[in-house]
């Protein structure tokens, strides 16, 4: 008999520009915050830095939000980052086909600098130009 151990104890965050309510469920099969495609997974992280990037780079909406979320089912390492861009998953990025429950919203957090955000957009544009900005869903 194998013991099921969670990948991470959290807390978990989801950065977005969507205006969500406490208790609401984030569900898969919605449009990506970053590309024009529906995704079969919902993505989240256990690091505030990665959640800040999620909020800052999201395309839809105006106000950035970082929500504390609870997975309602099993989850796995995000293959788009783990070992592809960041060996060993230092971003503690995950995905699930089960919903995430919104349990709180961070009231204040410090954004990345305008220079850091511009550099990230430039890096993502380069990946797009090279055909490498693909979400493996």
Question: Between these two residues, 120 and 84, which has the higher pLDDT value?
Answer: 120
- The model's pLDDT over 47-96, given as tens digits with 9 standing for 90+, comes to 999 999 989 988 777 899 999 999 999 998 888 766 566 666 777 889 99
Residue 112 lies in a domain: yes
Residue 2 lies in a domain: no
E strands present in the chain:
12-16, 25-26, 30-31, 38-39, 42-45, 65-71, 76-77, 93-96, 100-105
Query: pTM of this prediction?
Result: 0.81
Give me the domain span that covers residue 94: 12-129
Q: Say how many domains are in the chain.
A: 1
CATH of the domain at 112: 3.20.170.40
């Amino acid at each position: 008999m194998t013991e099921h151990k969670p990948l991470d104890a959290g807390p978990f965050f989801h950065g977005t520009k969507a205006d969500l309510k406490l208790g609401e469920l984030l569900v898969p099969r919605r449009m990506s915050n970053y590309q024009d495609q529906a995704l079969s997974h919902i993505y989240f992280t256990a690091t505030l830095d990665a959640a800040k990037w999620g909020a800052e780079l999201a395309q839809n909406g105006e106000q950035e939000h970082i929500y504390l979320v609870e997975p309602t089912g099993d989850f796995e390492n995000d293959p788009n980052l783990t070992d592809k861009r960041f060996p060993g998953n230092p971003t503690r990025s995950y995905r699930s086909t089960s919903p995430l429950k919104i349990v709180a919203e961070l009231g204040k957090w410090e954004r990345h600098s305008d220079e850091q955000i511009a550099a990230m957009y430039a890096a993502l544009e380069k990946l797009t130009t090279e055909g490498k900005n693909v979400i493996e869903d």
